[in-house]
Amino acid sequence: MVDATPFLPGLSPVQGKAVVAGFDGGRLSSEGGLLALREIEHRLGLADRLAGCLKDPRMPERVLHRLAEIIRFRMLMIAAGYEDGNDADALRGDAMFKLALDRLPSGEDLCSQSTISRLENLPDRRALLRLGRALVEQYCGAFRTVPKRIVLDLDDTFDRVHGGQQLRLFNAYYDDYGFQPIVVFDGDGRFVTALLRPGKRPSGTEIRAFVRRLVGAIRAHWPKVEILLRADSHYAAPEVLDWCRANRVDWIFGLAPNAALLRHVTALEKSAAGRFKAAPSRGKLRRFMQFYDAAGSWSRVERIIARVEAGPAGSDTRFIVTNLQAGRAKHLYERVYCARGQAENHIKAWKNHLAADRTSCHTAGANQFRLFLHAGAYWLLWSMRRVMPKRSAWRVMQFDTLRLRLIKIAARVVELKTQLKIHLPSSAPDQAIFAILLNRLPRLVT
């Protein structure tokens, strides 16, 4: 059916001909790339996995939208750039979104914003724990074979809030109210889990409890897997170090400098500064050393690696602590520890490109569920990028660029008796890679 909409005003003519435009094209959509996201989600089965963690209180005979359909719709919305649940009211009749949820364009509309809001407030604490385990199951299922060793990057990120949400807290460093959730990725960028928490630095006891539950969930699937944790300096708490040592978990953490640590590198700093001063044209000079020491709260001495860098601005010294006995100091710092910087890019993609900081619900449970939904959208786009050809720009493309190039494609949907025809633009610049993407989807590990 064609909507009777007025023509758009203010359009100048082209070569003497009037330009007449209106939103009356019928079953047109700007989300043609949902064809690929639909196939990816079907292979991952993430919406069904998350829905299986929830108990539906509705009367079965009166249910129009199953929990899995609502979750799938919400994750696809986020992946397509519609992070606001209010957008569901405008998108519920979109032909491509209907196809992505296995509904005919002529069928019933999808769920509305109010239905999504009720879903976000549905999980209780036990359901949220089940959802967290489901994300870990999704992570473990993303491997073809059981890995011998995995690397987990732990980090927390500040999430500003603008209301009276539960768990919000004033953070003096950011000079604002917000949350500070802990987010975990593996070394290849797979999303593992996220935990909503108040806007302050986590304590050692809190980190230990989180790590214990995370490692337990992973080893429930892979009992013999070796785990290496990488994180910033405030994760190097004595409670964490002792627990990891007792449970076969390796770590390499940043370490905040102090007077006791700096005494170990005084001679090296002086030597490095002298060598740089003698040949400044060669650029900054890096030197490494290792020693064993312990903070007053630690139960034993640990291996500490120092990196001293001399340059025009003076000396810059950084420390890390690890229980890894093998490996040279330079390799552990530059190749192992510094690789955790990529996790910050994953967090930026999750927050900036998928708006994971849209935690505006009043209850903490609803906001925690939102983090999981945005994690599901991350899995969709990460999986799309993962099946791209190796050593191609598509394999490392940012999510917002990937969305612009492969999801925001115009589509005209024609429903026939025996088939659905989707007409995409003949002038689309990325036709070849879109065909390659669909052809390579069977390689996706599910």
Confidence of residue 5 (pLDDT cuts 50, 70, 90): low
Neighbours of 17 (CB within 10 A): 7
Contact in structure between 215 and 249 (CB atoms under 8 Å): yes
**Max CA separation in the chain (angstroms):** 84
pLDDT at residue 4 above 70? no
Lowest mean pLDDT across 54-58, 176-180, 295-299, 353-357? 295-299
Global pTM value: 0.93
d(CA 400, CA 404): 6
Q: Are 403 and 79 in contact (CB under 8 A)?
A: yes
- Which amino acid, residue 156? D
Bridge partner list, 314: 311
User: How many angstroms separate the CA atoms of 394 and 384, rounded?
Assistant: 9
Average pLDDT, the chain: 93
Q: What is the pLDDT of residue 419?
A: 92
Pairing of β 149-156 and β 182-186: antiparallel
Alpha-carbon span 237 to 150, nearest angstrom: 22
How close are the terminal C-alpha atoms of the chain, in Å? 39
Answer yes or no: are the C-beta atoms of 36 and 384 closer than 8 Å.
yes
Separation of alpha carbons 155 and 183, rounded Å: 6
Local confidence band at 313 (pLDDT 50, 70, 90 cut-offs)? confident
The per-residue pLDDT for range 137-174, each reduced to its tens digit, is 999 999 999 999 999 999 999 999 998 999 999 999 99
- The average pLDDT across 266-285 equals 88
> What b/e readout covers 114-152, taking b as 16+ CB neighbours within 10 angstroms?
ebbeebbebbeeeebebbbbbbbebbbebbeeeeeebbb
Portion of the chain with pLDDT greater than 70, in percent: 99
Tell how strand 249-255 and strand 226-231 pair up. Answer: parallel
Residue 3 has pLDDT above 70, yes or no: no
> What average pLDDT does range 12-29 have in this prediction?
87
Measured CA to CA, the distance from residue 318 to residue 337 in angstroms comes to: 12
- Would the CA dihedral through 83, 192, 37, 102 be positive or negative? negative
Contacts of 97 (CB under 8 A, 6+ apart): 29, 31, 34, 73, 76, 77, 91, 110
The predicted structure's pLDDT at residue 159: 96
Per-residue pLDDT, 446: 55
- Confidence category of residue 10, pLDDT binned at 50, 70, 90: confident
**Cα separation of 330 and 360, whole Å?**
44
Determine contact, residues 438/39, Cβ cutoff 8 Å.
yes
Name the residue with higher pLDDT: 1 or 250: 250
At residue 405, the pLDDT reads: 96
DSSP 7: P
Residue 1: per-residue pLDDT:
45
Q: Which residue has the tokens 């539906």?
A: 56
Phi then psi dihedrals of residue 340, to 5 deg: -70, -15
| Distance in angstroms (rounded) separating the CA atoms of residues 361 and 367 | 6
Q: Render pLDDT for 84-141 as a digit per residue (tens, 0 to 9).
A: 999 999 999 999 999 999 999 999 999 999 999 999 999 999 999 999 999 999 999 9
Query: Strand 420-423's sheet: what is its strand order?
Result: 28-29, 411-415, 420-423
Contact 125, 369 (CB under 8 A): no
Burial-class residue 11 by CB neighbours within 10 Å (0-12, 13-18, 19+): exposed
pLDDT above 50: residue 334: yes
Which strands, in side-by-side order, build the sheet including 314-322?
191-195, 182-186, 149-156, 226-231, 249-255, 314-322, 302-311, 285-293
What's the pLDDT tens digit per position in 377-423?
A: 999 999 999 999 999 999 999 999 999 999 999 999 999 989 999 99
Q: How many residues does the chain have?
A: 446
